[in-house]
Amino acid sequence: MHHDPSSPIGIFDSGVGGLTVARAVMELLPNEPIVYFGDTARVPYGVKSPDTVARYAAQITRFLLAKNVKMLIVACNTMAAVALPAITGLSPVPVLEVIDAGAASALAITRTKRIGIIATPSTIASRAYEQALARLGGPDVHTVSKACPLFVPLVEEGWLDHPATRLVAAEYLGPLRAHNLDTLILGCTHYPLLAPLLAQVVGPGIRLQDSASAVARRAAAILDARGLRHCGGKPVHAFHVTDLPHRFLDIGQRFLGQAMADVQLETL
Amino acid sequence: MHHDPSSPIGIFDSGVGGLTVARAVMELLPNEPIVYFGDTARVPYGVKSPDTVARYAAQITRFLLAKNVKMLIVACNTMAAVALPAITGLSPVPVLEVIDAGAASALAITRTKRIGIIATPSTIASRAYEQALARLGGPDVHTVSKACPLFVPLVEEGWLDHPATRLVAAEYLGPLRAHNLDTLILGCTHYPLLAPLLAQVVGPGIRLQDSASAVARRAAAILDARGLRHCGGKPVHAFHVTDLPHRFLDIGQRFLGQAMADVQLETL
């Protein structure tokens, strides 16, 4: 298939979370059309096996390639952690993902190389962030990881500044204090919405790093290098989900920070 | 297909929650073999559309009928609320479900006919409990409903007596206080594990009613009426899931209150 600058960027996630990545891409690359896919019938992926996640990821990849995307962004930490070979194996276009971009960005801002990672249980179990940090940062990077399964439902409930969320965060993040971290990676696309509360819980000595803006910067660099950056007018974005388009629209606008055009229902 | 007393009872749910129903059936009918199905690859159902839930429910029904079950118990409030026609339409054997049984049981214990219902968002949105209570209890039954989406992840995290869970419960249940209820239906199979904490939050004036024991009593009556009660020795139970059998085993034993034999992985 032929790609030119007017081809869209494909961004996908298990649900609404990847809209924080779409938002970062829209802010940095305001002329690029985006095709977003959220697998809302099968969300959450964070509690599924690697085999199942890889199978679902391959189905979504095929769907987006059929839309003639010029680039794929895996905006789901779980898929990036366990399904990247299944995606890159199918794709003739560049595949970017949040883990590598987030790890590189964390290494660029840390001074002490003592980095924490919070994410869903399956992302943590995959050790994908630790491995990326060790690969990119060398043997003297110290990492500590913590699975935070309640953060996604709390964000989807909209309790972004609720006492219960604060208690949960204190319980999850308390044990990290002993590690003298200076950087904390928010390894799940839902977590940027909790950033103000998390910053209060961890205190001023720790910088929070989310992967959305990091992957957007990487996308811009690759499009420029390949002459695929679109400079036309205001783009039209498309949103596809596998269930409950209305719920996606309602919750999603909080993640995207702006209104969405209509959302298409798809069966994979 | 021919059913005799030695045929198993099929019990199914979107995940582990239905094991609280399996537990009640095992306690009341200790000689009955049970085939349990948990759709752990696609859990949770509570945030999916009725069409999607009905499609999944039909797949599970076919799977269990192929195991020659003599009775089906829908141990998932979401499926009972939105997918019952899809299940009964396929089944030549009796289909029992938690909503009707739970509503009848609540009506048997209420003195004031002021009944609250807590459940997942989709069960509440379906109004299935209200409708069952109105149908069985007449026009002077007063009901009030509240969706509690965070209870399932809190139970699965094992935070059954955690300050955060107490805060969440206080937030969800506080608005019910003005309704002078005397009975509160726990309209989700996960909630019995929170019963001790919920009892403290609502205070001594409100009795909690879960549907598991109610549906088990109904199963016993139907088996007796049809001469299908099994009186043999210790039965062998079977457990089938669509993903992560180890996680099901780990979490499930807390729900079942006893060890499980091995868990089979299935693809629907």
Cis peptide leading into A44, omega within 30 of 0? yes
For this structure, is B148 an active site residue?
no
Residue whose entry in the numeric block shows the structure tokens 């924080």: A20
Secondary structure of chain B as H, E, C letters: CCCCCCCCEEEEECCCCCHHHHHHHHHHCCCCCEEEEECCCCCCCCCCCHHHHHHHHHHHHHHHHCCCCCEEEECCHHHHHHCHHHHHCCCCCCEEEHHHHHHHHHHHHCCCCEEEEEECHHHHHHCHHHHHHHHHHCCCCEEEEEECCCHHHHHHHCCCCCHHHHHHHHHHHHHHHHHCCCEEEECCCCHHHHHHHHHHHHCCCCEEEEHHHHHHHHHHHHHHHCCCCCCCCCCCCEEEECCCHHHHHHHHHHHHCCCCCCEEECCC
Tens of pLDDT along B70-99? 999 999 988 998 899 999 999 999 999 999
Q: How is residue A210 written in tokens? A: 């989310």
Q: At what angle do helices B163-173 and A163-173 cross, to 10 degrees?
A: 170
- B231 an active-site residue? no
Mean pLDDT of A22-30: 96
> What pLDDT does residue B2 have?
67
**What's the pLDDT score for residue A93?**
97
Of B163, B171, B244, the CB nearest to A48: B244
Tell me, rounded to whole angstroms, the distance of Cα A22 from its chain centroid: 9
Residue A67 has pLDDT above 80, yes or no: yes
Q: What is the mean pLDDT of the segment spanning A135-139?
A: 94
Q: Which CATH architecture has domain B9-97+213-265?
A: 3-Layer(aba) Sandwich (3.40)
Stretch (H or E) spanning A88: helix A84-88
What mean pLDDT is predicted for residues A10-18? 96
Q: What is the pLDDT of residue A28?
A: 95
Task: Classify B99-212 by CATH class.
Answer: alpha beta
Please state, rounded to an integer, the average pLDDT across all residues of chain A: 94
pLDDT at B233: 82
Q: pLDDT digits over B117-166, tens only?
A: 999 887 898 899 999 999 999 999 999 999 999 999 999 899 999 999 99
Task: List chain B residues with CB under 8 Å of A247.
Answer: 47
CB B237 within 8 A of CB B36: yes
Query: Which of chain A's residues have a Cβ under 8 Å away from the Cβ of B153?
Result: 149-150, 152-153
Q: Which residue has the tokens 């506080």?
A: B174
All residues at 6 or more sequence positions from A212 whose CB lies less than 8 Å from its CB, including other chains: A20, A21, A23, A24, A75, A98, A189, A192
Order across the sheet with B9-13: list the strands.
B95-97, B71-74, B9-13, B34-38, B238-241, B263-265
Residue among B41, B47, B167 whose CB faces A244 most closely: B47
Q: Which residues of B fall below an 8 Å CB-CB distance to A?
A: 40-43, 47-49, 52, 149-150, 152-154, 156-157, 162-164, 167-168, 171, 243-244, 247
A171 contacts on B by Cβ (under 8 Å): 162, 164
Q: What's the rounded mean pLDDT across residues A45-55? A: 87
CB A15 within 8 A of CB A239: no
Would you call A72 helix, strand, or coil by DSSP?
strand
Render pLDDT for B133-147 as a digit per residue (tens, 0 to 9). Answer: 999 999 999 999 999
* pLDDT for the residue numbered B172: 97
Kindly tell me if the per-residue pLDDT of B43 is higher than 90.
no
Please say whether the dihedral angle defined by the alpha carbons of residues A211, A213, A214 and A216, taken in this order, is positive or negative: positive
As to burial, measured by CB atoms within 10 angstroms (0-12 exposed, 13-18 middle, 19+ buried), residue B234 is exposed
Dump the DSSP string for A157-219: HT-TT-HHHHHHHHHHHGGGGGG--SEEEE-STTGGGGHHHHHHHH-TTSEEEEHHHHHHHHH
Q: Quick: pLDDT tens for B160-194.
A: 999 999 999 999 999 998 999 999 999 999 999 99
Question: Given pLDDT bands bounded at 50, 70 and 90, which one contains residue B255?
Answer: very high
**pLDDT, average across residues B95-121:** 96
The alpha carbon of residue B45 is apart from the nearest alpha carbon of chain A, in Å, by 9
Between chain A and chain B, the number of residue pairs with CB atoms below 8 A apart is 55
pLDDT recorded at residue B199: 97
Dihedral sign computed on CA atoms, order B210, B211, B214, B216? negative
- Residues near B51 by Cβ (< 8 Å), separated by ≥ 6? none
What's the pLDDT band for A55 if we cut at 50, 70, 90? very high
> How would you class B199 by CB atoms within 10 Å of its CB: exposed for 0-12, middle for 13-18, buried for 19 or more?
middle
CA distances from residue B170 to A199, B148, B175, B197 in whole angstroms, order as listed: 26, 11, 9, 10
A83-101 residue pLDDT tens: 999 999 999 999 999 999 9
Q: Name the closest residue on chain B to residue A245, using Cα atoms.
A: B49
Tell me whether strands A71-74 and A34-38 are parallel, antiparallel or unpaired.
Answer: unpaired
d(CA B5, CA A250): 50
- Residue B222 has a pLDDT of 96
The answer to whether the CB atoms of B150 and A150 lie below 8 A apart is yes
Model pLDDT, residue A46: 76
CATH class, A99-211 region: alpha beta
Q: How far is A206 from chain B (nearest CA, A)?
A: 24
Count of CB atoms within 10 A of residue B51's CB? 13
Whole-number percent of chain B with pLDDT over 70 = 99
* Local confidence band at B228 (pLDDT 50, 70, 90 cut-offs): very high
- Interval A153-202: pLDDT, tens: 999 899 999 999 999 999 999 999 899 999 999 999 999 999 999 999 99
pLDDT surpasses 60 at A1: no
Residue A202: phi, psi to the nearest 5? Answer: -85, -20
**Which is more confidently placed, A45 or A255?**
A255
Residue B1: its pLDDT value, please? 56
- Residue A2 is predicted with a pLDDT of 67
Write the Ramachandran bin of A180: left for phi over 0, alpha for psi from -120 to 50, otherwise beta: left
Q: Which of B9, B22, B57, B76 is catalytic?
A: B76
Please determine, for the modelled complex, whether the ipTM score is greater than 0.85: no
- For domain A9-96+213-265, say whether CATH 3.30.750.200 is its number: no
User: Token pair for residue A91?
Assistant: 């794709």
Q: What residues of A are in the B interface, CB distance below 8 Å?
A: 40-43, 47-49, 52, 149-150, 152-154, 156-157, 162-164, 167-168, 171, 243-244, 247
Would you say the CATH fold of A99-211 matches that of A9-96+213-265? yes
pLDDT at site A3: 79
Domain range annotation of chain A? 9-96+213-265, 99-211
